[in-house]
Amino acid sequence: MAAGVQKGGSRRAMSEINVTPFVDVMLVLLIIFMVTAPLLTVGVEVDLPETTANPIVGQDEPLAVSINAAGEIFLQDEQVVMADLVPTLERISERNFEARIFVRADKTVDYGTVMQAMGRMNRAGYTRIALVTEPILEE
């Protein structure tokens, strides 16, 4: 019988696992998620004003109220009118008045519109409301 040939043509199962393809796939997925994660926060295009304030840190995911340059109001990605802002907010937050709310307003939006939205949310019982700005990059 020839050396290395087994009787009956059966082959033994390979007991080693090659993890290289698995690691390659995981690294590609990691890069994809690192690139796309910042884009998933809020899809409304807003040109934020700049400030030197420190960022607010917290554990829970905040809700986002955005006001674009045309004065249109969005809660997360859903467009709402001013009168429906609080009822929609209550529905999304499940009446959690401790929910953090980030207000993102275009720097060209009328100050009164921003304050009217914030006032409505505050009167409804939401107290954790913060304005979102862009940091000033010092040269």
Examine residue 7 and state whether it is found in any structural domain, yes or no: no
pTM for the whole thing?
0.58
Give the pLDDT mean for 17-42.
78
* 55 has pLDDT over 80: no
Examine residue 8 and state whether it is found in any structural domain, yes or no: no
Examine residue 28 and state whether it is found in any structural domain, yes or no: no
The candidate with the shortest Cα–Cα distance to 114, out of 132, 127, 100, 99, is 132
* 40 has pLDDT over 80: no
Separation of alpha carbons 18 and 135, rounded Å:
46
For residue 72, what are the domain limits?
Answer: 50-135
How high is the pLDDT of residue 29? 87
* 126 has pLDDT over 70: yes
Examine residue 61 and state whether it is found in any structural domain, yes or no: yes
Total structural domains within the chain? 1
Examine residue 33 and state whether it is found in any structural domain, yes or no: no
CATH number at 98 reads 3.30.420.270
Examine residue 22 and state whether it is found in any structural domain, yes or no: no
What residues form DSSP beta bridges with 79? 74
At 20, the pLDDT band (50, 70, 90 cuts) reads: confident
Examine residue 27 and state whether it is found in any structural domain, yes or no: no
Dihedral pair phi/psi, residue 126, rounded to 5°: -80, 120
Examine residue 124 and state whether it is found in any structural domain, yes or no: yes
Higher pLDDT, 12 or 101: 101
Separation of alpha carbons 9 and 33, rounded Å:
47
